A and B are shown apart, each in its own frame.
Chain A
Amino acid sequence: MPFLSHLYIRTAFLHLVLALGLAMFWTHPSVFHMLTVGWLTQLIFGVAFWLFPRVSREKPYGRTWPMVWAWGLLNAGLVLRVVAEPQAPGSVWTVLLVVAAGLQWAASLLLVVYFWKRVRVK
């Protein structure tokens, strides 16, 4: 299993544990998103990176920088969201929530850019 799959899948399980732990005493949309984005989506893309058709024999996973950046942006955005969303609206929290939204959207764009090339007729 390539390192990036390992990273995505391990982080996904971390989000699962955290979300289930939080859900015991706190029900909020951000906890639900820790499950759907932090766990499910990251697990999906971690496995897809490993499983989808290889780009070439020399570079089986192609250029992987969008995946690396997407991991950082997605997790930073999600953590920021969990912290800021319950407090918003408020001067600082509003700014943090907007940043969180932007980071998650950018991560989605990078994932689409990367996987578009990996998915092809073979």
Chain B
Amino acid sequence: MPRYSVLLVRFSLVWMLLGATFGTVLLLTTAELAPAWLWALRPGHADIMLIGFMLQLALGVALWIFPGSKPGSNHSGTADTPRRFRLLLFLPVLLNAGVVLRVVGGWGVSFAAGPWADITRGVGLGLVLLTVGIAWKLRLGTSRLVPRHNRELHSASNQE
């Protein structure tokens, strides 16, 4: 598994634990054992679980396991050029900055803190979309996602 996938998957695990902690606090609020203002954690709980955990895990695994764009390249990341490797290594930074902004903005929205909370959430979503876009451009969109028999036919015709 390449380093950028390890980073993405490990960050997703950390977010999952934090999201579960938020969820525990929300359940305590439901049980009226925690103050009601802690309901402000709810948008953050959703963002953490859906983007920080699930999307990040899916991205990390996809970048690891999708076949490379060039015939003969494997899916372990060794086929990455140094430039592409550096760019892919930047993805966890970008995505997690987006999640942090979403969570902070979500907290602000719950307290009706004016337009800044919505703007923060919007910028956070922008960073998340930018991350997915870069991953798509660098690897996912150019992957040779073709059935095995088509690949064999392709390589056989190349040899001829």
Q: A interface vs B, CB < 8 Å? A: 36, 40, 44, 48, 51-53, 81, 85, 88-89, 93-94, 97-98, 100-102, 104-105, 108-109, 111-112, 115-116, 119-122
- Are A88 and B20 in contact, CB atoms less than 8 angstroms apart? no
Chain B CB count within 10 A is highest, among A85, A100, A101, A102, for: A101
* Contact partners of B49 in chain A: CB under 8 A: 36
Task: Report the 6 A-B pairs with minimum CB-CB distance, sorted nearest first.
Answer: A108-B20, A101-B27, A89-B32, A101-B24, A94-B31, A97-B31
Known: A104-B23, A122-B1. A89 touches B76 (CB 8 A): no
Q: In the complex, which residues of chain A have a beta carbon less than 8 angstroms from the beta carbon of B138? A: none
A interface footprint on B15-29 (CB within 8 Å = 1, 0 otherwise): 011001101100110
Partner of B24 from A36, A40, A105, A120 at Cβ < 8 Å: A105
A93 to chain B, nearest CB (A): 8
Query: Which residues of chain B come closer than 8 Å to A109, judged between CB atoms?
Result: 17, 20
**B20–A119 contact, CB under 8 A?**
no
| CA A44 to CA B33, docked complex, whole Å | 32
CB atoms of A97 and B1 under 8 A apart: no
Task: Say how far A62's CB is from chain B's closest CB, in angstroms.
Answer: 15
Bound CA–CA A55/B93 (angstroms): 27
Query: Are B10 and A116 interface neighbours, CB within 8 A?
Result: yes
Chain B residue contacts of A94, Cβ below 8 A: 31-33
**A121–B16 CB distance below 8 A:** no
Chain B 20-75 residues near chain A, CB threshold 8 A: 20-21, 23-24, 27-28, 30-33, 49, 54, 57, 61, 65
Complex contact A85–B14 (CB within 8 A): no
Contact of A108 among B9, B17, B32, B33 (CB under 8 A): B17
Q: List 9 additional contacts besides A104-B20, A105-B24, A115-B9; criterion CB under 8 Å.
A: A36-B49, A44-B54, A48-B61, A97-B30, A98-B33, A105-B23, A112-B14, A115-B13, A120-B1
